[in-house]
Amino acid sequence: MSHSYEATQPRMALDADAVRAAYRRWAGIYDSGFGLVSASARREAIAAVNAAPGTRVLEVGVGTGLALPHYNLSKRITGIDLSKEMLARARQRSAELGLSNIDELSEMDAENTSFETGSFDIAVAMFVASVVPHPLRLVAELRRVVRPGGTILFINHFAAERGPKWWLERGLAPASRALGWHPDFRIGQLLPGDLSKLCTIRQLRPMGLFSLVRLNVT
């Protein structure tokens, strides 16, 4: 089944080269920096994957592989990322820990993968939606590669609608290319009205910095 998307984008769009450059810079310090900030939300995402029905899992934006050791061994994991440097660390982590349930760790564009339709039971994208150049293409591609009845999970920061936090996020927006992500990313840029009806959204503690979004594939 094909799914259409609209060309809605953040104010200052990233391209693949900008993403690669940003994460080439962050690869060496990612685990000790953002990896710590995002640890609690990552645990929530992994728990949701482990509880979801099915065994074939696609992790989009696998990064340095921080999540890999924590999946149930019954889950067969395929990880993709756009950054060679981050993938090298993920492969090293998998090898050092002897992770037997990791099927593949590949450099690939999440908006245009080489997987066959319906290849996975579950797809999880942690901190990726505000990084890719075209978020709605990401959603469309994940809906293609996950079988009907499967589950797509997003963990992400979504911009506030108003207040001091909104002003801070808007102020950081011009630095999107250097940061490698969009501080002012809105949930409507990922899930417009028609898709939002298929979702559940849960704000995560502490501080509600991240949200867990579950999309049921139809």
pLDDT score for 124: 98
Is residue 89 within 8 Å of 107, Cβ to Cβ?
Answer: no
Residues 210, 214, 215, CA angle at the centre, nearest 5°? 135
Residue 60 has pLDDT above 80, yes or no: yes
The per-residue pLDDT for range 33-57, each reduced to its tens digit, is 444 556 888 999 999 999 999 999 9
Q: What is the pLDDT of residues 84-106, one digit of tens each?
A: 998 999 999 999 999 999 999 99
**Where do the DSSP E strands lie in 157-210?**
199-203
Compute the distance between CA of residue 172 and CA of residue 1 in angstroms, rounded to an integer: 38
Q: What angle do CA 153, 87, 177 make, to 5 degrees?
A: 75
Task: Calculate the CA 43 to chain-centre distance.
Answer: 14
**Residue 181 vs residue 144, higher pLDDT:** 144
Alpha-carbon span 4 to 30, nearest angstrom? 34
Cα 86 to Cα 64: distance, rounded to the nearest angstrom? 5
In 52-187, which residue ranges form alpha helices assigned H by DSSP? 84-97, 135-145, 163-172, 176-179
At residue 17, the pLDDT reads: 58
Q: What pLDDT shows up at residue 213?
A: 94
Amino acid, res. 71: Y
Q: pLDDT-derived band of residue 177, with 50, 70 and 90 as boundaries?
A: very low
Q: What is the pTM of this model?
A: 0.77
Q: Hey, which of 9-18, 22-31, 139-148 has the most confident mean pLDDT?
A: 139-148
Structure tokens at 16: 């693949």
What mean pLDDT do residues 136-142 have?
96
| Residue type (1 letter), 45 | A
* Domains identified in the chain and CATH numbers: 16-216 (3.40.50.150)
Tokens 């559940």 identify what position? 200
